[in-house]
Amino acid sequence: MKENIPAVTRTHIDVDCCDSSAVFVLDNGHDHFAVSLETILSCLKVAEEHGHVPEIGADWWCLIANHTALGYQS
């Protein structure tokens, strides 16, 4: 599934609105919705576990867990 993404833009988000280290506002052409960095990383972990992306390794996941609210079980 490859979709043409026309552009990436930066939008100011009130940092008091959430606990995430970063929030991405996505636009599917009909709606805007927010996705936290932790959600994106969780999706990446599932993709790794199912073989959709190469193995990333426990060291990287632990490093990321220390910088985000992501809870990583080694």
10-66 pLDDT tens trace: 666 555 555 656 888 888 888 888 888 889 999 999 999 999 999 999 999 988 888
Domain boundaries, the chain: 15-67
User: Closest Cα to residue 22, out of 73, 66, 67?
Assistant: 67
Tell me which residue has tokens 């990287």: 60
- The whole-number pLDDT of residue 53 equals 97
